[in-house]
Amino acid sequence: MSILNGLNSEQRKAAEKIDGPLLILAGAGSGKTRTVTYRIAHMVLEKGISPYKILAVTFTNKAAKEMRERVENLIGLEAKKVMVSTFHSFGVRLLRVYAAKLGYDANFNIYDADDQKKLVGRLMKELVVTNKQLTPASVVSKISKYKEDGDEPSDVAKEVYNADTRVVAAVYEKYAQELIKNNAMDFADLLLNTNKLLDDPEVLEKIQGRYEYVMVDEYQDTNNIQYQIITKIAKKHKNICVVGDEDQSIYGFRGANIRNILDFEKEYKDAMVVKLEQNYRSTQNILGAANSIIKLNTTSRGKNLWTEKEKGHLIEIFSASDGRAEADYILQEIIKGKNNGRSYKDYTVLYRTNAQSRVFEEAFLRHRISYKIFGGMQFYQRVEVKDILSYMRVINNPKDTVSLFRIINVPKRKIGAKTIEKIRDFADENEIIFFEAMGRIEETGLGSAVKVTVLRLYEMLKNIMEESQFLTASEIYDMILEGTNYMNYLTSYDEKFEARMDNVRELRTSIQEMEDSEQYEGFISVGEFLEQTALVAATDDLEEDTDYVKLMTIHNSKGLEFPIVFLVGMEDELFPSAKADFSDDDLEEERRLCYVAITRAEEKLHISHASERMVYGRISYMRDPSRFLKEIDDRYVDYINKAKVTPKKKESKLGGLNLITKADFKVDEKSPFKIGEKVTHKKFGTGIIKDVEAGKRLVIRFRDGDKKLPLVLAEKFLVKE
DNA sequence: TATATCGTTGTTTTT
DNA sequence: CAACGATATA
């Protein structure tokens, strides 16, 4: 009697295939995690494979934790020996061991988007970047793209495409050097450097030798670097099992390459492919609606999701007059449900952008409905929390100037830009790090008052650093708060200081919780704590049993399921996003996102849209219902208050992108390219020609902005679709 | 060097 | 709208 009897025939087929490449195409709600966990259990219990030899990679900590727990339920404590990890934590773990091979110390800090922006901003200032189009954020995003594609600064420098590229290349090069100097890695580095490490024969051999069986979850969302990492590890034994669903690939903007899953069989000719098509989650109507939308995607391989469940409720579509009315409708539905024996925790609100959470938050607050928002402004990113974390980061890694500059004058110590510059110069001259230069402040020739404050800060930090190995993170937190008198500083920060103080206290609680957890048994080093905070994901702390309404973006909802779902803000230019309006690839990704949203619902799905809504603090009028709404087959939906037909007069929307209108489609006979045509560029991807300037230059709207291309070059680099 | 005030700018989506 | 940066003034 095999443990696999708990699976259906297809799931079982997948779970039994242990050796060689395996592709599991797992439709939404088809028992993917069940299959994978049973597969692991089968390997360990029935095939006698050592759990140490198994590596399972997921995208979020929550998914990793769930997988670990479910394997543990099946095989007990042996489960702890299986390496279940996210890509990023797996990378960090390896990088800590082999940091030196890449010129890093083991205690490197991890930079988030905020830190990246700060550093890039600093470098742009140093390089005197005058182009106002290039903001730190935009440059960071370009650099991240390069990294996701595996392009080094030198690769970018070779491709001297235009002035912008040259500037970005220069910043990128400095940025890369600066990261090493600061002993810090950004998110992309965690993967990129892991991948580099695996080029080292010693490391590769060790990893390949250890992990004979590799599994990857959510394979449709792997980027090119993650693909390389997995390919290298699995190369020796070829026991690679990837699980995914091309219809749920929603992270293209972050470098995810849907081709990884689509081309798996080409890459591994002897791969077994198993399709899981029975859905255990949703009713027939919900599945029908989801299927009617996704079949319009050209990247969909086509699958037939089916269920034994009943037809269930029709999908209710509500047309609200404005955003407020939309929130009220949802509020009423929840109150009604609550009176009929449902709980808050049965309800989830899904939206396209984080900003949309606000109006619901206000409604729920007014009516004392308990709720929790996942994602958005993360706890660890708040100013006051980040301040304390920055102190910890300096203590963990004195080379980290991004953190050091952040806190050097917080609380106010009268250390300004001038002083920092002088200390920096001194540090450069003497080839020491900035922090050590602070300790030798006497030699800098700065004014005596400022010297005293700098030295006092240095000594405080140095003190904690020296003891830090023996101190647990909460003790270090206490020393920082005491040493800086931070709470006192907060009282005069702004009118929200009380909430800020609460957050700082909550940080203490979160350290304490980790410290007390089974994993750490009372001691967590400051480095370990920082690592945790850097790698948390929005829904990692989602608790199924707590009775609150959950609110999150559709992206954050992936992999989760909820009894009753409100899919809100279903309007063109919001969903699909206005920024996805110009290319088919983008539109298809938005459609997949819509598919993900619909398939989260188990019993009932509400979809709503509003004809007016506050956007950027102004009211946007006559908003059209989302085109995706029209794509749902009518037999699955119930319009509970059919929208008033609004006159079709397209005004140019405030803020956001102006859509290309008919008036733009004038024809320039001389040019082989016409306005409105779709073109592909090998670097920028698909775009739409917006303008043909005097027959000389094309303005093309690509995914990451408008580009101007001289006709001569255009003929060389552009391919018409 | 700190603070006050004004103007600009942006918002997809995230490990 | 709100967060952030640039500029002026103490």
* CATH placement of domain A290-378+543-640: 3.40.50.300
Q: In sequence order, which residues have a C-beta less than 8 Å from that of residue A337 and are 6 or more positions away?
A: A346, A347, A564
What is the tens place of the pLDDT at every residue in A301-350? Answer: 878 889 999 999 999 999 998 898 999 999 999 999 999 999 999 999 99
pLDDT at residue A677 in the model: 56
d(CA A557, CA A597): 7
* Cα four-point dihedral sign A73, A77, A83, A87: positive
Strand C: which of residues 95-154 in chain A lie with Cβ below 7 A?
A: 121
Number of C-beta neighbours around residue A414 at 10 A: 11
Task: Establish whether A232 is an annotated binding residue.
Answer: no
- What is the distance between the alpha carbons of residues A87 and A93, in angstroms, rounded to a whole number? 10
| CA torsion angle A263 A265 A266 A270 (round to 10) | 160
DSSP state of A308: S
Which residues of chain A between 427 and 446 are close to nucleic strand B, CB under 7 A? none
- Provide the percentage of residues in chain A whose pLDDT is more than 90: 53
Q: Dmax of chain A from CA atoms? A: 81
Domain boundaries, chain A: 9-96+193-278, 109-182, 290-378+543-640, 380-507, 677-720
Question: Gap from A616 CA to C1 C1', in Å?
Answer: 6
Using alpha carbons, select from A399, A394, A437 the residue that is nearest to residue A180. Answer: A399
In the CATH hierarchy, which fold is given to the domain comprising A380-507?
PCRA; domain 4 (1.10.486)
Strand partners, A84: A56
**pLDDT tier for residue A675 given thresholds of 50, 70 and 90:** low
Query: Is A116 in the active site?
Result: no
Whole-number Å distance, CA A418 to C1' B2? 14
Q: Tell me if residue A33 is catalytic.
A: yes
Confidence tier at A413 by pLDDT (50, 70, 90): confident
Which parts of A399-472 fold into alpha helices (H)? 401-407, 417-430, 434-439, 448-467
Please check the confidence at residue A261 and state whether its pLDDT lies above 80.
Answer: yes
Beta-strand runs (E) in A189-234: 213-216
**pLDDT category of residue A669 using cuts at 50, 70 and 90:** very low
How is residue A414 written in tokens? 């009268």
Kindly report the CATH number that applies to the domain delimited by A9-96+193-278: 3.40.50.300
E strand or H helix that includes residue A698: strand A697-702
Confidence of residue A667 (pLDDT cuts 50, 70, 90): very low
Mark the nucleotides of strand B covered by protein, meaning any atom under 7 Å from a CB. Answer: 1-3, 9-15
Position A248 confidence tier, pLDDT thresholds 50, 70, 90: very high
Q: Which fold has domain A109-182?
A: Arc Repressor Mutant, subunit A (1.10.10)
Q: Check residue A705 and give its pLDDT.
A: 47
Q: Does the annotation mark A482 as catalytic?
A: no
pLDDT in tens, A457-496: 999 999 999 998 899 999 999 999 999 888 888 877 777 7
CA distances for A161 relative to A137, A331, A543, angstroms: 21, 53, 49
* Angle (nearest 5°) at CA A256 between A28 and A299: 55
Joined together, the tokens standing for residue A88 give: 């990023």
User: Quick count: other Cβ atoms within 10 Å of Cβ A197?
Assistant: 22
Q: Do domains A9-96+193-278 and A290-378+543-640 have the same CATH topology?
A: yes
Q: Over range A9-19, report the average pLDDT.
A: 94
Active-site position among A147, A196, A550, A600: A600
Interatomic CA distance for residues A204 and A470, integer angstroms: 34
User: Which chain C positions have some atom within 7 A of a protein CB?
Assistant: 1-2, 5
* Å separating the CA of residue A539 from the C1' of nucleotide B5: 40
- A37-95: pLDDT as tens digits: 999 999 999 999 999 999 999 988 888 989 999 999 999 999 999 999 999 999 999 99
Is A39 one of the annotated active-site residues of the chain? Answer: no
Please indicate whether residue A248 is annotated as part of the active site. Answer: yes
pLDDT in tens, A145-178: 888 888 888 888 777 667 778 888 888 999 999 9
Q: For A369-401, how does the pLDDT look when each residue is reduced to its tens digit (9 = 90+)?
A: 999 988 876 778 888 888 899 999 999 999 999
Q: Where are the beta strands (DSSP E) in A364-484?
A: 371-373
This prediction's pTM: 0.85
| Residue A80 labeled ligand binder | no
